[in-house]
Amino acid sequence: MKKIALLVVALMAAVSCAEQKAEYNQTLGLLSEYNILSNAGGSTQVAVFSNTAWSVEMDRQVSWASIDRFNGIKSGYLVFDYEINFGRARRVILVFKATDANGEVKTRTLNMYQQGRFSDSDCIMDLEASSLEIPAAGSTEVIPFETNLVYNLDEMFLTVSYPEGQEPESPWITLKSVEKDKVTIEVAPNTASGARRANIRIAHTDAGDYDSTEGDTIYSNTVSIVQTK
C-alpha cells in the first residue's frame, strides 16, 4: 500500500514538473485575460510567464492606477496599484509584448477592471432645465446641474441630436465644462436661414462588464435648444 502511495506521489510530482516546464518555456503567457478589483483600492501582483525579455504598458494613462515596472526578463511579476473608486466602474488594460525565437512579436492583454461605488440605478445626472431659447448672436449658457458622480466629472461628455433633415455641417453647440453644480455650453451664432433646434444631454460611459471592453453609457434628462434667427 505504501509503495502505491509513493508511486502516486511520484507521478503527481512528475506531472507538476512537466507542467511547470511547459509553462516556463512559452514566449509569453498570463494566468488570465482579466482581473476584477474591488472599489476599495489596494495593490495586486500580476504574474508573467516568459522565456525571454518582455515589456508591459497601460493602454492609456490614468491617474488612479500605476505599475511598478515596464519590462522584465523571463518569468516574474509586477505590482499593480489602484486607488479607491468613488464613481462608476472603470478599467485599464495592460499590454504585454515579447519577441519569440522567430522574431515574431507576441502580445497578451490583461483587463484590469475595478468595480464602482455606484450602480446605474444609483447615479444622478440631472440638468435643471427643460428648454432654452438662445439669441441669434449665440451665447454662453450655464445650466444648473445635480450629480453624485463628482469623481467622474472630467469623463462626462455632451450628446447633441437634431431634427431629421436638419443636421448641420459642423456642430453649433459645444461643451465648455461640467462641474458638480453646473454645465456650461457654448452656442455659436446662427448662420442658418431660419431658427434652428437641437436636444442636448450629458452622458457618461463606464467600464461595462468585467469581461468586456464595451462600456455602459448613462444619460441625463434632455434639454431642448431653440435658437432664433
Per-residue confidence (pLDDT) for residue 25, from 0 to 100: 82
Q: Per the structure block, which three cell numbers stand in for 155?
A: 469623463
The span from the CA of 140 to the CA of 217, in Å, is: 26
What confidence score (pLDDT) does residue 99 get? 97
Task: Dig out the grid coordinates for 25 from the structure.
Answer: 518555456
Q: Give me the residues of the chain with pLDDT under 70, please.
A: 1-24
Could you give the strand order of the β-sheet that contains 34-37, starting from the edge strand earlier in sequence? 34-37, 105-114, 90-99, 53-58, 71-73
What's the rounded Cα separation, in Å, for the pair 42 and 63? 14
Q: What angle (nearest 5°) sits at the alpha carbon of residue 121, between those of residues 118 and 40?
A: 10
Amino acid identity at 129: A
Q: Are strands 173-179 and 157-161 parallel, antiparallel or unpaired?
A: unpaired
Q: How many CA atoms lie within 13 A of 37 on its CB side?
A: 29
The DSSP line for 68-105 is S-SEEESSEEEEEEE----SS-EEEEEEEEEE-TTSPE
pLDDT at 223: 98
Residue 107 Cα distances to 55, 113, 169, 170, angstroms: 10, 19, 41, 39
Ordered domains of the chain (ranges, CATH): 25-114 (2.60.40.10), 120-227 (2.60.40.10)
Distance of alpha carbon 222 from alpha carbon 156, whole angstroms: 15
* pLDDT recorded at residue 9: 41
Give the per-residue pLDDT at 12. Answer: 43
Q: State the pLDDT at residue 24.
A: 62
Show the cell assigned to 159. Answer: 450628446
Residue 122, pLDDT score: 95
Q: Are 182 and 141 in contact (CB under 8 A)?
A: no
Phi then psi dihedrals of residue 89, to 5 deg: -60, 145
C-alpha cell at 102: 522567430
Return the H-helix or E-strand segment holding 68: none
What is the rounded distance in angstroms from the CA atom of residue 52 to the CA atom of residue 210?
Answer: 30
